[in-house]
Copies of this chain bind each other. A is one copy, B any other.
Amino acid sequence: MVKILNNPMNEDSSVRSVLRGGQRIRARNEARLINAAIQVFADRGLEGATTARIAETAGLPKANLYYYFASKETIYRRAVLGILEKWLDAFNALSPDDDPALAIADYVRAKMTASFNHPAESRLFARELLSGAPIVKHYLETELRDWVARKSVIIKAWSDKGLMAPVSPPHLFFIIWAATQTFADFSVQIDCVLGPEDRSSRQEIATDEIVSFVLRACGLGG
């Protein structure tokens, strides 16, 4: 478990603090506000979002937001770091003993599911990166860099054994991240190009297409 934020929700809180009243109201309202913030920041960006709108989305008056968060930057920070932490934990697949095809397919599939089910998180993160990553830069240089280094060893081992094509592991991740997150970040574009037909089956088709594309590129049939 990667520890980035040290909010109480990271600890034993889930049981205790829900029972005792200690921080019950605080936990509930902060969660509401963070979720609202993710939505609004994802849609409008740090400067485009107003604290009034975040509060309204959370169903609370603006002054209440400032009771829990010192500033707009503070709640932005919490939202972005929360997403990063969640992502680093969620995608921890790829162990050396796995079958490369299965492991990579699983990873890509999980990323696609995340893009379709939680697009706002991806969009907010995209905005943070577009702005030069003022908040997460430090974690990209450490946590994420290490994560990629660890996974790269595994990929390298696979291609050295001839189990897959020799790809540059970091670039493999860059492509997978880009190709999967594009379905969250730039979904307007995709919807416009594909037009109004068959909107329902689209997630499955896209997922299969991206998975087999990546597998083929890795020399893993498909």
A contact residues, total (Cβ < 8 Å): 55
**Is the C-beta of A66 less than 8 angstroms from some C-beta in chain B?**
no
- Judge whether B48 and A175 touch: CB under 8 Å: no
Say whether A27 faces chain B, with CB atoms less than 8 Å apart.
no
Chain B: CB-nearest residue to A186: B129
Q: Is the CB of A174 within 8 A of B179?
A: yes
Inter-chain contact B45/A193, CB cutoff 8 Å: no
Residue among B47, B170, B219 making CB contact with A45, cutoff 8 Å: B47
- Contacting B at CB under 8 A, from A193-222, are 193-195, 205-206, 209-210, 213-214, 216-219
When distances are taken between beta carbons in the complex, the residues of chain B under 8 Å from A165 are 216
* A39 contacts partner chain B, Cβ-Cβ < 8 Å: no
Contact of A175 among B46, B47, B174, B179 (CB under 8 A): B179
A 24-52 to B, binary, CB cutoff 8 A, 1 in contact else 0: 00000000000000000011111110000
The digit string for A144-169, where 1 denotes a CB below 8 A from any CB of B, is 11001000000000000000010110
| Binary flags per residue of A116-148, CB closer than 8 Å to B gives 1, else 0 | 000000010011011111000100110011001
Please report the C-alpha to C-alpha distance between residue A186 and residue B173 in the assembled complex, in whole angstroms: 13
A41 CB to nearest B CB, Å: 11
Bound state CA distance, A151 and B116, in angstroms? 26
